[in-house]
Amino acid sequence: MPDKDLTSLTIPRPDDWHLHLRDGNMLRAVLPETARHFGRAIIMPNLVPPVVTAAQASAYRDRIMAALPGDMVFEPLMTLYLTEATDPADVRAAFENGIATAVKLYPAGATTNSASGVRDFEKVRPVLETMAEIGMPLCVHGEVTDSEIDIFDREAVFIDKVLKPLRKKVPDLKVVMEHVTTEDAVDYVRDNPKNLAATITTHHLIINRNHMLVGGIKPHYYCLPVAKREAHRVALVQAAVSGDKRFFLGTDSAPHTDPNKLQACGCAGVFSATNTMSCLAEVFDAAGQLKKLEAFVSLNGPRFYGLPVSEETITLRKGDPVQYPTQIATDDGPVTVFDPGFDLHWHVEN
């Protein structure tokens, strides 16, 4: 139950620990949507071609900063896309020179632009051992890609078949299981406190697979990992509002234009940057845990990444329904903003 007396909350400026900004026209249009509320974000490297080397990450970082409106402050935390050809020395240099914050592991074929991902984990072992040595986190898209594994089971199978063996081989590696969608993943992170954390998206706290599939197919709710049954959503909310240090926000805000979403074979991704903070406040308030929002969006992420908590603050204030656009215009076409399916009452004041 919401606490009726709690109508405002001031917290350190939040960070987004999993974000897709894309490039070019799309980058210019979506970057302000994140920078308006968030101080930093872990930037996903799944461009075409992917951001693999330190030099590519540095150039991408420059393009992001060039796209940032002059009156906004934002720090992109860059990631390197792990391939079987990644050079451990390049990864080490990227981390030690402050160019990259983390490395991203996509199992080959798991999601949008993941064709260059990893097939044979032995091939990337030297990179993982270097990362463990220097304390650089590995962000993991935790889904197996075997065609015979049901799409709703791919995360749970990944934990058993890939994550457990990988963490056994390189136990000192810091791992972030990204955008967890199952109770299995929540339990695994809770039960394995050493060097392991998980991000949770805004939309997976709000929708289950019925929202996507009942009464007609809703392409704007289609993302990867795909939303699961309600019991899993409830487990995610419990983990997020618990204040447990191992769980923090990674929106996975992933813009695709409407023409790319609304077709016979549409792209995976939910774009939630615009209204994420209001959505989250609504979720935490409904659970009677509004005060735990600070841990989830502002404290737990920097703690795991070994970075300082923001010294700036934002204030959330409860009031009349928040007005936000249903679409963001880009020079590539419109991008639809996540529809939580209920009114949002928490306004963000910078």
Comparing CB distances to Zn ion, the nearer of 247 and 346 is 247
Give which of ligand NCD, Zn ion, none residue 246 binds (C-beta under 5 to 8 Å, depending on kind): none
Comparing CB distances to ligand NCD, the nearer of 268 and 286 is 268
193 class by beta-carbon count within 10 Å (0-12 exposed, 13-18 middle, 19+ buried): exposed
Comparing CB distances to Zn ion, the nearer of 252 and 285 is 252
Residues 5-34 binding ligand NCD (CB under 6 A) are 20
Taking CB under 6 A as the criterion, the residue among 252, 285, 294, 339 binding ligand NCD is 252
Counting contacts by CB under 6 A, is residue 112 touching ligand NCD?
yes
Closest distance between Zn ion and the C-beta of residue 269, in Å? 7
Counting contacts by CB under 6 A, is residue 79 touching ligand NCD?
no
**Stretch 165-204: interaction string toward Zn ion, x if CB under 5 A:** ----------------------------------------
Q: What is the CB-side half-sphere exposure of residue 3 using CA atoms within 13 A?
A: 12
Counting contacts by CB under 6 A, is residue 213 touching ligand NCD?
no
Counting contacts by CB under 6 A, is residue 155 touching ligand NCD?
no
Q: Which residues pair with 79 in a beta bridge?
A: 102
Counting contacts by CB under 6 A, is residue 269 touching ligand NCD?
yes
The pair of three-digit structure tokens given for residue 25, joined into one six-digit string: 């026209």
Closest distance between Zn ion and the C-beta of residue 11, in Å? 24
Buried b / exposed e along 7-25 (16+ C-beta atoms within 10 A)? eebebbbbbbbbbbbbeee
Asked if residues 16 and 34 have their Cβ atoms less than 8 Å apart, the reply is yes
The closest of 85, 86, 78, 83 to 61, measured between CA atoms, is 78
As a residue count, the chain comes to 350
Taking CB under 6 A as the criterion, the residue among 29, 57, 224, 314 binding ligand NCD is 224
Residues 45-64 binding ligand NCD (CB under 6 A) are 46
- Asked, as a colleague might, if the bond just before 225 is cis with ω within 30 of 0, I would say yes
Taking CB under 6 A as the criterion, the residue among 236, 240, 254, 281 binding ligand NCD is 254
Asked if residues 276 and 253 have their Cβ atoms less than 8 Å apart, the reply is yes
Asked if residues 200 and 179 have their Cβ atoms less than 8 Å apart, the reply is yes
- Asked, as a colleague might, if the bond just before 49 is cis with ω within 30 of 0, I would say yes
Comparing CB distances to ligand NCD, the nearer of 61 and 204 is 204
The closest of 177, 295, 287, 195 to 233, measured between CA atoms, is 287
**Stretch 246-275: interaction string toward Zn ion, x if CB under 5 A:** ------x-----------------------
Q: What is the CB-side half-sphere exposure of residue 251 using CA atoms within 13 A?
A: 31
Counting contacts by CB under 6 A, is residue 268 touching ligand NCD?
yes
Q: Is the dihedral of CA 273, 275, 278, 280 positive or negative?
A: negative
End-to-end CA distance of the chain: 27
Counting contacts by CB under 6 A, is residue 111 touching ligand NCD?
yes
- Any catalytic annotation for residue 252? yes
Counting contacts by CB under 6 A, is residue 223 touching ligand NCD?
yes
Region class of 119: left (phi > 0), else alpha (psi between -120 and 50), else beta = alpha
- Number of residues interacting with ligand NCD: please give it, by CB under 6 A: 11
Q: Which residues pair with 200 in a beta bridge?
A: 249
Comparing CB distances to ligand NCD, the nearer of 46 and 130 is 46
In the set 90, 252, 285, 339, the catalytic residue is 252
- So which residues are the catalytic ones? 252
Where does this chain bind ligand NCD (CB under 6 A)?
20, 46, 111-112, 141, 223-224, 252, 254, 268-269
Where does this chain bind Zn ion (CB under 5 A)?
252
